[in-house]
Amino acid sequence: MSSDQIIIQDEADAPDHRLPRFFIDWPIDQVENDSISIDNAELKHQIEKVLRLKAAPNDQEPPRAQLVLLPGDGRMWTARLSPNMSSRCKSTSIAFELLEHFQEESANPARFVSRIYMPLIKPARFEMALEKLTELGVDEIVPTQYERSQYKAENYQKRIDRWSAICREAAEQSRRVRLPIIHQANTWQQALDDAGSDRGLMILLHERANAPDMASLLYNHQPAEQNRLHIFLGPEGGITDVESSSFIDKGAKLARLGDNILRAETAAVVALSAVTFAANKIQD
């Protein structure tokens, strides 16, 4: 493996986009002579049975198939299956030879860091929102229980592993280099306290007629001062007056997404799209 780290400043610096990508739990302390063995039966199945990639002897042409390994924190390695370690691996393990090390460039100061407080809605719709938000580049997601939520936070804690898997697959498909953080489900009161203690702009999406358009609100914001966004969406049935007053008292800004009333999963996608639009306009 090359000892030089390649900083990704544009598309030309990144690994070949045609290479398959896999997020892994990175056992960096287990790297031996630029080789690594990962115990992950699902990963092994996907590479060997689905993609049908195979390790070939070092002297065999054409070169062994390459792929990209990502620990989810902005680093990535091109790698190929290692024939030298395969015989020593467990049946659920797969071995790689590391080739080149890449690092995502430091975040643009104009970019917003977004945390979406997603209301607990029907599981299928919630999971669709997770997938689409990940594809759009969300940084953090907090499952949130409101007064009118039909689903309770304590009933959702066991779903974290499933949600993480959904986000990981969506991140691989959309060629992200960082995984979004999925927080434990929480009540709106605790979520509001957490957001209030974290420097950033709090936005409560609301259908109130005199609230500004979200894209305009963000465009007039100065991200260099507060580039962290906390975006709250209400559940089916909407936000109560008590909840709305609590958010405003904590300094949250009200914003609208247009004249239509959107489902929570649709509103989340539209809101994050507005964030991307505003960041691009600010950068220009």
Whether residue 124 sits in one domain with residue 253? yes
pLDDT digits (tens, 9 = 90+) for 141-196: 999 999 988 887 777 777 888 999 999 999 999 988 889 999 998 999 999 999 98
The total of structural domains in the chain comes to 2
Q: Which of 104, 135, 167 is the last residue of a domain?
A: 104
Rounded CA-CA distance 96/34 in Å is 9
Reported as a single tens digit per residue, the pLDDT across 133-143 is 999 999 999 99
**For 208-217, which contacts have Cβ atoms below 8 Å and span 24 or more sequence positions?**
208/254, 208/256, 211/254, 211/255, 211/256, 212/253, 212/254, 212/255, 212/256, 213/255, 213/256, 213/257, 213/258, 214/255, 214/256, 214/257, 214/271, 214/274, 215/274, 215/277, 215/278, 217/253, 217/255
Residue 33 scores a pLDDT above 70: no
For residue 249, the domain's CATH number is 3.40.1280.10
Report the share of the chain in percent with pLDDT over 70.
Answer: 80
Inter-helix orientation angle 264-283/123-136, to 10°: 10
Out of 48-57, 110-119, 181-190, 192-201, least confident range: 48-57
pLDDT at 280 over 80: no
Q: Are residues 224 and 276 in the same domain?
A: yes
Question: By residue range, what is the domain housing residue 65?
Answer: 5-104
